[in-house]
Amino acid sequence: MSADIAVVGGGVVGSAIAWRLAQAGAAVTVYDDTAAGRASTVAAGMLAPASEAQLDNPHLLRLSIAAARRWPQFAADLADQAEQTDPDDHIGYRACGTLLVAMSAADQADIDRYRDLYQREGIEIQRWDGERCRTVEPLLSHRVNAGLFAPGDHQVDPRRTLAALIRAGAAAGVRRVAEPVTNLSELKAGRVVLAAGTWSGRLAEFPIRPVHGQVLRLHAPAGDANHIGRSIRAVNRGRSVYLVPRSNGEVVVGASSHELGFDTAARVGDTVTLLRDAVDVVPELTEYRLIETNVGLRPGTPDNAPLLGPIGDGRVVVATGHFRNGILLAPITADLITRYLTTGAEPVELRTFNAERFA
Ligand code: GLY
């Protein structure tokens, strides 16, 4: 193993890789030049191989399903590191499932199409009528007329996860420096892991583009015990909106999707659309406080699947392009990259998702 590894990018993916590498005995330095629009601190934290699935890419779907299975152990390992017994108290990992609801007959046709695709891919899904949806989630609008429950789609709080990864990394010996990297060849380390999200494209030649995603953070009024119990994704007039409720009363509402370069300004129209859709689905949200409006830049690739594995002469190993699923894919990415750098054996996933597929 190369004793000395530089990880460029200190979001959830880079920090998870650094932690796992340090646990495996490597000397790791993370270069973390925090930029506005970092996806890790904006993301809602859906761990949702079904409801966030890209159903036209079977390789990615399989990777996402395997990634979701890895999360309970990853959450437990991080909790152990902090001598916590409950990953919910620690990083907000909640095995709550996700309810996908349709707001009209036309929207129902949309979710039924998903149901067929999920079933074909062997993803567990339950069809509920509107009444069952409201019995389980009493705050749902009376307009909800059908739902699909994905029992394997969970959530985590990405901000708490990142903080825990930084602490766990430090305890394992990771050095973290707040220095910008403008040229990978200037780094002294024997191996370099490029995990700088959408900014990775400024440091190596491959196709990656920023995809603007605006989310809102709402908070339940003080003392309000009625809260949404699980993640909800709704199709409302053909548009998709998701609500990710934390156990502390926060709800993350997302998300827009635009290609605007590196612009990280929030857009009024997106705020209006997100709030209108969210309140249509859960009318009670009008009573909530609007706490934050943020934009994250998702790292998109031509097929919106990640870029993983060695490039060029192999000194640089890429771990980026996770698009809408960086939080879900972080643990599996960390394990694959660590296995490769510590054993030299290239897992099949690194060949499938190698950046050279676009050469
Ligand atoms: N994974 C949620 C989003 O990208 O909006």
- The separation between CA 197 and the C-alpha centre of its own chain, rounded to angstroms, equals 12
Taking residues 25-41, report their average pLDDT: 92
What is the pLDDT confidence band of residue 1, given thresholds at 50, 70 and 90? very low
Which residues are CB-contacts of 241 (< 8 A; sequence separation ≥ 6)?
Answer: 233, 234, 253, 254, 274, 277, 278, 281
Q: Are residues 263 and 285 both part of a single domain?
A: yes
Residue 3 has what pLDDT?
Answer: 54
145-184 in b/e form (b: 16+ CB < 10 A) is: bbbbbbbbbbbbbbbbbbebbbebbeebebebeeeebeeb
Structurally, the chain folds into a number of domains equal to 2
Evaluate: CB of 255 within 6 angstroms of ligand 1. yes
For 1, 115, 119, 146, the CA distances from 126, given in Å and listed in that order, are 46, 9, 10, 11
pLDDT of 87 > 70? The answer is yes
What is the pLDDT confidence band of residue 6, given thresholds at 50, 70 and 90? very high
Residue 279 has what pLDDT?
Answer: 97
Taking residues 271-292, report their average pLDDT: 97
Q: Are residues 16 and 76 both part of a single domain?
A: yes
What is the pLDDT confidence band of residue 2, given thresholds at 50, 70 and 90? very low
CATH number at residue 242: 3.30.9.10
Taking residues 35-55, report their average pLDDT: 90
pLDDT of 63 > 90? The answer is yes
Q: Are residues 202 and 214 both part of a single domain?
A: no
Taking residues 265-294, report their average pLDDT: 97
Evaluate: CB of 52 within 6 angstroms of ligand 1. yes
In a domain, 218, yes or no: yes
Q: Are residues 296 and 318 both part of a single domain?
A: no
Interval between CA 76 and ligand 1 midpoint (Å): 24
Q: Are residues 127 and 252 both part of a single domain?
A: yes
Q: Are residues 162 and 48 both part of a single domain?
A: yes
- Whole-structure pTM value: 0.95
Q: Are residues 58 and 123 both part of a single domain?
A: no
Q: Are residues 37 and 169 both part of a single domain?
A: yes
Interval between CA 268 and ligand 1 midpoint (Å): 19
Q: Are residues 141 and 222 both part of a single domain?
A: yes
**Regarding predicted confidence, which is higher, 359 or 31?**
31
Q: What's the mean pLDDT when you consider all of the chain?
A: 93
pLDDT of 282 > 70? The answer is yes
Interval between CA 117 and ligand 1 midpoint (Å): 20
Q: Are residues 265 and 162 both part of a single domain?
A: no
Interval between CA 227 and ligand 1 midpoint (Å): 22
Q: Are residues 199 and 244 both part of a single domain?
A: no
Q: Are residues 162 and 308 both part of a single domain?
A: yes
Q: Which of 242, 244, 252, 301 has most ligand 1 atoms within 8 Å of CB, for mutation? A: 242
Range of the domain at 254: 98-151+210-300
Residue 35 has what pLDDT?
Answer: 80
Atom of ligand 1 nearest to the CA of 215: 5
What is the pLDDT confidence band of residue 344, given thresholds at 50, 70 and 90? very high
Taking residues 76-102, report their average pLDDT: 89
